Amino acid sequence: MIFHKIMRQGYLLTGIFSCLLTAGYAQEQEQKQEQPQERTNERPATIDSIDVVRDYRPILADAVKIRQSPDMSNKRQYQPELTYNILDKKLDINTGTKRLTIQEMPFTRTQTPSNNYAKIGAGNLGTLLGEVYLSSDYWVDTRVGGYVKHLNQQGAIEAQKFSSQQIGVFGRTILGPVTLDGELGYNRYGTRFYGLMNDAAGNNLNLDPTKQTFNDIYFTGELTSNYDEQATDAFSYSLKADAYGYSNAQATKENSFALAGYVNKQVGVFNVGANISGDFTSVKDAAYSFANNIAKVNPYIRFQGPNYNITLGAKFVAEFGDSSRTNIFPSAEIDFALVPQFAHLFGGINGDVNRTSVKELTKENPWLAALGTSNYIRNSVDRMYIFGGIKGNAGATFGYKVKAFYRRIENMPFYAIAPDAPYAFNLIYEDGDNASTIVGLEGEINVRVSEVVTLGGKLNFNEFDLQQQEEAWYTPKMRLSANARFNISDKLYIDGELLFQGQTYGLVQDPTIDLSSYAFTELSESGARKTTVPSFADLSAGAEYRATDRIGIYVRLNNMLGTNYERYLFYPRLGLNVIGGVNFSF
């Protein structure tokens, strides 16, 4: 049944489609029959020919035509009103980004540090040398360190012995606007009164050379303001303190404490300031004591320009203690750039009181006798000191300075053989009613010939016009010092030094001393004699070879000419002595 039903539906659909096709075919046949009746006069078209009846013109229907032309003068203005909401705070963008922080890196060095070293050496004449130097610059603004040194030698003459020890610690730090540095140390120097002198009969006048030892405990500290190049009205200042306790084997003691400072205020092209100091010193011996205090005030005003510097002021000096005295001295200096960086003219006039110190005297002459009523301390006074000269440089390879001066000075200290102890020296002073004069010339030069050779030297000439003393005892009129350094290679260095001193004169007041081996002149009926001390030259040289970056080998020759010259009468110096050893850097 289902099959027959489906068949009937198929027949019905087929019939409907057949009727639709028949109606469409009949309509098409009617159109074909009407067309030949309208075009009976046209000839049929062929493949190779086309007849054009009229030009083709597209024509729109009325329904799609626009009946109104556009008005080009009608412009529409579009100006929207804009509003802004400006925030008065920063946007907080929480996206995880933030300000970068610098990552601290561990401290590293580009090269091996060599701030520390140790040196050991030995040589003839029983020479032993040892040095240790330690320093730390781990901090950028602070430096601390310390050192220990030892040297001893023994000459060919009996009791001709020398020994020196030094130990000290130091530090320096920058604290914002100021710099603070200081040093604390101890120095010891030992020798003997080994002078060789005989009487007219040939008997030794120094049978038992006495030991001499100097002990020096010292401290120095300074606070200084840091210079600000940008400040046009800078205020600078400094404060310095020095103290020491000095003694020798003869129970002579000298204690000193000094404070010094300066203040300076820049006002345009002017500088106004003052130097102030106070020195408090006491000297004691078995039979002698002396309080020697000095206060100084030096106000000034300085005119400073690009090529000149003029300072005008005065110096007030007051001595007080066991003796008192007040002096006022002029103080003026000028520096003018004749040829900037190449030649500067300079000059000045001033005066001062020079403290006579046992410490400084015995550094110069360690065979000074004990102090007493006939051997006492007195300060010298520069009544007038006038100087002038020229200085300059030519780049970094040549520098020079020439200065001439004139000094009027009172109470100059000199040395003379003590009458009661011919192996020691007493102090004598040029203390006439009028000041003595010194006319001098100084010259200094430094030359860098090349990367290999460096030369330097200093020359002094002095002419004395004394009122009381016959000569400026043991003070040379001519003195020359020169040095040279040769960098042969990165590992080998050679240096040399030359010291030349013209002849000097010594005073012998004891008539029993034999001077047959010296040139001398009688000065008075008392037996005082002026003795000539010959000139001398001391040539020294040294070499160092750097075997590695850490280890070096060195050798040094002192007094290469081998002359037993005398700086002071009856005290010959050491002859040729050689020191060699090794130094270590770490």
Residue 346 pLDDT: 97
User: Is the confidence at residue 209, as pLDDT, over 90?
Assistant: yes
Confidence of residue 332 (pLDDT cuts 50, 70, 90): very high
Confidence of residue 93 (pLDDT cuts 50, 70, 90): very low
Residue 372 pLDDT: 84
- Contact indicator for 539, 559 with CB cutoff of 8 Å: yes
Residue 140 pLDDT: 86
Mean pLDDT of the chain: 85
The model carries a pTM of 0.78
Indicate the burial class of 124 (C-beta count within 10 angstroms; 0-12, 13-18, 19 or more).
middle
- Contact indicator for 349, 315 with CB cutoff of 8 Å: no
Residue 25 pLDDT: 45
Residue 113 pLDDT: 57
- Report the SS3 class of residue 70: coil
Confidence of residue 57 (pLDDT cuts 50, 70, 90): low
User: Is the confidence at residue 212, as pLDDT, over 60?
Assistant: yes
Q: What is the pLDDT of residues 175-208, one digit of tens each?
A: 988 999 999 999 999 999 999 999 989 999 999 9
Residue 484 pLDDT: 97
Residue of 519, 533, 540 lying closest to 567 (CA atoms):
533
Residue of 455, 464, 535 lying closest to 497 (CA atoms):
455
pLDDT: is 128 or 102 the higher one? 128
Cα 224–228–233 angle (5° rounding)? 100
pLDDT: is 157 or 167 the higher one? 167
Residues 485-502 have a mean pLDDT of 95
Residue 229 pLDDT: 64
Residue 82 pLDDT: 45
Confidence of residue 28 (pLDDT cuts 50, 70, 90): very low
511-526: burial string, b at 16+ Cβ within 10 Å, e else: eebebeebeeeeeeee
User: Is the confidence at residue 92, as pLDDT, over 70?
Assistant: no
- Contact indicator for 486, 493 with CB cutoff of 8 Å: yes
- Report the SS3 class of residue 21: helix
- Specify the long-range contacts of residues 558-566, CB closer than 8 Å, at least 24 apart: 561/537, 563/536, 563/537, 565/534, 565/536, 565/538, 566/533, 566/534, 566/536
Structure tokens given for 375: 């051997």
Residue 264 pLDDT: 94
Superfamily per CATH, domain 140-585:
TonB-dependent receptor, beta-barrel domain (2.40.170.20)
Listed range (20-29, 444-453, 467-476) with the worst mean pLDDT:
20-29
Cα 436–437–439 angle (5° rounding)? 160
Listed range (102-106, 207-211, 396-400, 565-569) with the worst mean pLDDT:
102-106
- Give the start-to-end residue ranges of the domains of the chain: 140-585
Confidence of residue 112 (pLDDT cuts 50, 70, 90): low
User: 521 — alpha (psi -120 to 50), left (phi > 0) or beta?
Assistant: beta
Listed range (31-40, 434-443, 515-524) with the worst mean pLDDT:
31-40
Confidence of residue 397 (pLDDT cuts 50, 70, 90): confident
Q: Show the 3-state SS of 332-392.
A: EEEEEEEECCCEEEEEEEEEEEECCCHHHHHHHCCCECCCECCECCCCEEEEEEEEEEEEE
Separation in Å, CA 540 to CA 337, 341, 481, 494, 581 = 38, 34, 11, 11, 17
Residue 538 pLDDT: 97
- Contact indicator for 365, 400 with CB cutoff of 8 Å: no
Taking the CA of residue 111 as centre, how many other CA atoms within 13 Å lie in the half-sphere pointing to its CB? Answer: 5
- Report the SS3 class of residue 36: helix
**What is the rounded CA–CA span in Å between residue 185 and residue 220?**
9
Phi, psi of 559 (to 5 degrees): 50, 60
287-316: burial string, b at 16+ Cβ within 10 Å, e else: ebebebbbbbebbbebeeeeeebebebebe
Listed range (102-111, 170-179, 413-422, 537-546) with the worst mean pLDDT:
102-111
**What is the rounded CA–CA span in Å between residue 257 and residue 240?**
11
**What is the rounded CA–CA span in Å between residue 298 and residue 313?**
7
Residue 123 pLDDT: 96
**What is the rounded CA–CA span in Å between residue 255 and residue 243?**
8
Q: What is the pLDDT of residues 356-384, one digit of tens each?
A: 999 999 999 999 998 987 889 999 999 99
Confidence of residue 333 (pLDDT cuts 50, 70, 90): very high
Locate all alpha helices (DSSP H) within 41-180, ordered by sequence: none
